[in-house]
Chains A and B, each alone.
Chain A
C-alpha cells in the first residue's frame, strides 16, 4: 500500500512539475472558465433571486468545459514523449498510475475552482463561498475527475480525441452535474442539509461506483 501511494504521489508530482514548466493546461483552462462566466454575466441581467437560482448552473458549465479541456491533456505527456510504456514497466500496479493521474487532475480542477468561485461571487453577487456548496463541489469534482481520467486514457490514442472525450464523458457525468447544480441552488435558496440529502447521496454513490470501477478496469485500458 505504501508503494501504491508513493507511486501515485510521484506521478501527480511529476504532472504538476510538467504543468509548471509548460503552463499549457492551467493558463488556457483558467482563461476559458473565467471567460465563460464573463459571457454569462453580460448575457443575463436578472434580479438577485434569479441569479441565485442560475449561478450554480453557470458555475458548473465553466467547471465542466474547462475540466474537459484539462482532462484532454491528462495523458498527453505520456503520448508525446512515449512514456506510457516506461510507466507500465515500473513495479507498481496500474491502479497507482490511475490514482496518480486522478490526483494530478484533481489538483488542477481545485486550482480552477479556487479562481472561478470568487469570480462567480463577484460577477453575480451570490454567496457561493457557503461551506456546504464548497463541500458539494469538492465531492462532485472527485466523481468528475475519476470518470474523466478513464475516458481520457481511452481517447488519448484516437485521432479526434478532443471530440471523443466529451462525447463519451458528458453523458456519463450528467447525473453528478445535475446533482451538484441542484443542491447548490437549494443551498443558495436557504435550504438545509435535509433539503439536499438526496443529491448528496447520489453524488457519494456516484463517486464510490465511478472511482472503484475505473480503478479495476484501468489496466485493460492501458495494456491493450
Chain B
C-alpha cells in the first residue's frame, strides 16, 4: 500500500543556497508528524513543496501514490495548508473570505460547510466582521477554517502557533483533532509543549537533512527539549 505522502530525494536550491538536500520522507495515513529544526533549516520550504505552492529543484513528491507534478490540480484538493498567516484578505469579512475560497475549491454546498466551520472555530457571531478587526487568535482560527473548508485528507501546518497564547493553541489543536481524527497532519513548530501534545511522530531537520525520525512514544516536553538540543547541537 502506498504512503499518503512520499518524498523521494527532494532537494531545493535558492540560487546558490541549498535549503533541502536529498530528503526522503514517508508519511502514512492518520499520522501526526511534527517537523522541528532551527530557523533556516528547510521546514517551511518542505511544507510549501508538499502543498505544491513551490517546486522542488530535484526529486519527486507523491501524494497517495500520484506524482505531484503530474496531478497537482487533483492532489491540491486533498491538501489543506495553514501557515503563521491564515491567507485571509483583511478587507473582507470572515464569511466573504470563506465564500471566496469555497468557490476556488468548487465546494458543492458551501453555505452549509461555512456555517459548520464558523461554528466550530467560534466565529459564527463575527462572520460579517472584517478580518482586519480580528485578534491574532481569531484570524488564525479563521485561517484554520479556510484550510479545512474542503475537508482535506492531509493538513499541512507551518508554524501555526506563531503569535498564539497557550489557550489559543489548545483551541487550535482541539479543532484539528475533532474535525477529523483520522486526518494526516504534518506540522512545523518551535513549541515543544504543543508538539508533544499533538504529534505521533517526530522529525528533526538540520541543514536541509533529516537527522532524527522516530515515533514520539512517551516523550515528555522536557525529554523533547533535551533530545532536540542534543540532535541539533543548540537551542531552538
Contacts and interface: CB of A to CB of B under 8 A. Distances in A.
Contacts of B92: 14, 17-18, 21
Contacts of B106: 3, 6, 91
A22 B51 CA distance: 31
A85 B89 contact: no
Contact of A93 (B54, B73, B91): B73
A8 to B, nearest CB: 10
Interface string B57-100: 00000000000000001111101010101011111100010001
Nearest to A22: B91
Contact of A90 (B55, B88, B105): B105
A185 B220 CA distance: 79
A86 interface: yes
A89 interface: yes
Interface in A1-32: 3, 6-7, 10-11, 13-14, 17-18, 21-22
Nearest to A77: B89
Contacts of A91: 73-77, 104-106
Nearest to A14: B100
A82 B158 CA distance: 14
Contact of A21 (B75, B91, B100): B91
Contacts of A223: 53-55
Interface string B156-170: 000000000000000
A45 B74 CA distance: 62
B146 interface: yes
A55 to B, nearest CB: 38
Interface string A57-99: 0000000000000000000010011110111111111000000
A14 B81 contact: no
Contacts of B79: 89
Contacts of B75: 91
A13 B106 CA distance: 15
B101 interface: yes
Contacts of B55: 223-224
A89 B53 contact: yes
Interface in A177-224: 223-224
A224 B74 CA distance: 21
B101 A90 contact: yes
Interface string B99-116: 011011110000000000
Q: List the 9 shortest-distance A-B pairs measured between CB atoms, nearest first.
A: A86-B87, A10-B103, A91-B77, A90-B104, A88-B53, A91-B76, A82-B85, A89-B81, A21-B91
Interface of B: 48, 51-55, 73-77, 79, 81, 83, 85, 87-92, 96, 100-101, 103-106, 146
23 contacts: A6-B103, A7-B103, A10-B103, A13-B100, A14-B100, A17-B96, A22-B91, A80-B90, A83-B88, A86-B81, A86-B146, A88-B53, A89-B51, A89-B52, A89-B53, A89-B87, A90-B76, A91-B73, A91-B74, A91-B105, A92-B104, A223-B53, A223-B55
